[in-house]
Amino acid sequence: MTSPSEFQTQSGDNLRATGFMVGAMALFASEDFFVKRVTADMPVLQALIVLAIGGAVVFAVLCVRRNIPFVSAELRHPLVVGRNLSEAIATVAFVTALSLVPLSLASAILQLTPLLVTAGAAIWLGETVGWRRWTAVVVGLVGVFIILRPGFEGFRPSALLVLIAAVGLATRDVMSRRIPKRIHSLQLSLWAYAAVTIAAGICMIFVPTVESAPFPVWRDLGAAIALGAAAYICLTTATRMGDVSAVIPFRYTRLLFALILGIVFLGERPDAATLVGAAIVVGSGLYALMRERKRRSER
């Protein structure tokens, strides 16, 4: 039985962890906002390479501070290679999408990722997923269909890039569950950014566009890199400090922050279909999380 003092400590840790999680989502949404601004004045692949190199430098510094080697034989593990490939595809797709579609729309579709992770874990990892959570996955896909509206007026083919990004991120997360724990997360993050740099460089061979940019664009790039690093630190702190089941639902606050930034600073006006679809996706995701939490408590 948990003593009152232990319960209060756990509750306090969960409250602080929730604060870090919400802060991380605000920072991620802000990073997306600056990336969208940058891609309005700089070629997407050029911006992507700068962002990836900047992120790699940040994680290289973190590795040095903790005496974690940059390279190890374990990084050749097939799951690590697959994770990096998935990360690269997802990042290239999402940053390209941000340059073409509203921030609010991109963020709404991206909320499908946790549901895709649930489906992927069942299909490839053999995890038990009951009919209720499968129903949540299907309903979430319906929500994305409402947002995309294929075949109807207002359909944006470029929004499909966000769907590709969501699949890539979900694949990355599913693979991460089976990567040996001895491989440090900072190493994984460093090489994920390296993979994005390589992928963007290969794409630039076929689309060789490099342009000079004024100082404000470089300033926004620097802000995006700093915000992304700060978001990662907050996210890591949140998941280590509190119960995962208590803090994970607050990942959906990223959509709220994206909506606010898009409406206030970018002049976006999400239509009813986007808002309804987003509500369905988020609601389905929260329901799936609730069912997962209940399943674990019954073990």
- Residues 285, 115: Cα–Cα separation, whole Å: 6
Q: Within the chain, where are the H helices?
A: 4-39, 44-65, 78-98, 103-110, 113-124, 131-148, 160-176, 185-206, 215-241, 244-247, 253-265, 272-297
Q: Which of 252, 259, 253, 264 is nearest to 288 (CA)?
A: 252
Supply the pLDDT for residue 7: 44
- Residues 276, 269: Cα–Cα separation, whole Å: 14
Supply the pLDDT for residue 1: 46
3-state secondary structure (DSSP) of residue 75 = helix
Q: Which two tokens stand for residue 87?
A: 């990360």
CB within 8 A of 197, min separation 6: which ones? Answer: 49, 52, 53, 56
Supply the pLDDT for residue 2: 52
Supply the pLDDT for residue 13: 80
Question: Which amino acid is present at 144?
Answer: V
Total residue count of the chain as it appears in this document:
299
Domain count, the chain: 1
Supply the pLDDT for residue 107: 97
Domain containing 131 equals 4-297
- Residues 179, 81: Cα–Cα separation, whole Å: 10
Supply the pLDDT for residue 209: 80
Q: Are 133 and 175 in contact (CB under 8 A)?
A: no
- Given a cut of 50, the residues of the chain with pLDDT beneath it are 1, 7
